[in-house]
């Protein structure tokens, strides 16, 4: 999995490229931790290039998005594929995440 970290003003966008599966989760976790350690108070996870995710990927999203970070520091999830949306909906994970249709909408929500 390839991970890109892109600053967008006060928001850090972390873009994942490839499936969000158990063997590749360490890279995403590390990128989020590095962004938070570097002072990134607002994060957006851009998953537009993630074709699918497994149960470990869902668990990581829940962990990252529901950690005791407070509402402003919790990552927003953006641009999910239909396959990922369906998997999250079927497993009842979807309502527990802040999901946005586009990265731009997610970034705007962080700036309020």
Each domain of the chain, given as residue ranges in start order, spans: 2-110
When pLDDT is cut at 50, 70 and 90, the band that residue 2 belongs to is very high
The answer to which of 1-5, 39-43, 67-71, 94-98 has the lowest mean pLDDT is 67-71
Fold of 2-110: Transcription Regulator spoIIAA (3.30.750)
Strands 42-49 and 99-100: unpaired
pTM of the model: 0.91
Confidence of residue 53 (pLDDT cuts 50, 70, 90): very high
pLDDT score recorded for residue 68: 55
In angstroms, the CA 100 to CA 88 distance is 14
Residue 85 has pLDDT above 80, yes or no: yes
């Amino acid at each position: 999995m390839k991970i890109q970290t892109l600053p967008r003003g006060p928001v850090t966008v972390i873009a994942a490229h490839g499936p969000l599966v158990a063997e590749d989760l360490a890279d995403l976790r590390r990128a989020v931790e590095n962004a938070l350690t570097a002072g990134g108070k607002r994060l957006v996870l851009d998953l537009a290039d993630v074709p699918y995710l497994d149960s470990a990927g869902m668990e990581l999203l829940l962990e990252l998005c529901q950690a005791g970070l407070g509402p402003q520091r919790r990552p927003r999830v953006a641009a999910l594929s239909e396959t990922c949306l369906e998997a999250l909906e079927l497993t009842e994970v979807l309502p527990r995440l802040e999901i946005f249709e586009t990265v731009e909408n997610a970034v705007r929500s962080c700036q309020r």
